[in-house]
Amino acid sequence: MNEVRVPPGLKVLVVEDDPLVSMTLEDMLDSLGVEVSGPARSLDEGFALLGDRKFDLAILDVSLGRQPVFPLAEALQDQGVTLLFTTGYDRLDGGARFNDCHVLSKPYTTVSLAEAMRVALGVQHPAA
């Protein structure tokens, strides 16, 4: 069986409003050796985490309660951060700006998360 891996030293921002989902996601990322910031559970918390930090990737729940995550996604994208959206819905509905962003459907596994991260970052699958 192939080991689940992502590039070492990744700095990932997690934005997820559901406590159980965010804890599970943090555990998955920890098992992948990723440096996690967050989770931010709202737009305000997400913007507060931006500051001077530099992230390689942001994993963003599309819907934070009743607020879409897209204003934060725009700010992250303006900083050159790669975006990976997560959603339980069929479509992203974020507008043309996010057409090239990758979407990971909920529920997901550590393996599907790692693969989505690699695809979003443009990293080839590790050799078997």
Q: Is the pLDDT of residue 127 over 60?
A: no
Instruction: Please give the Cα distance from 82 to 79 (Å, whole number).
Output: 9
Q: What is the pLDDT of residue 41?
A: 96
Q: What is the pLDDT of residue 94?
A: 73
In which band, very low, low, confident or very high, does the pLDDT at 53 lie, cut at 50, 70 and 90?
confident
Q: What is the pLDDT of residue 1?
A: 41
Q: Amino acid letter at 10?
A: L
Q: Give the residue-averaged pLDDT of 110-124.
A: 93
- Domains within the chain, CATH numbers bracketed: 11-121 (3.40.50.2300)
Q: Is the pLDDT of residue 126 over 80?
A: no
The model carries a pTM of 0.91
Q: What is the pLDDT of residue 2?
A: 53
Q: Give the residue-averaged pLDDT of 11-23.
A: 96
CB 44 within 8 A of CB 71: no
Between the alpha carbon of residue 38 and those of residues 4, 16, 101, the distances in Å are 23, 9, 21
Among 42, 15, 34, 32, residue whose Cα is nearest residue 109: 32
Q: What is the pLDDT of residue 128?
A: 44
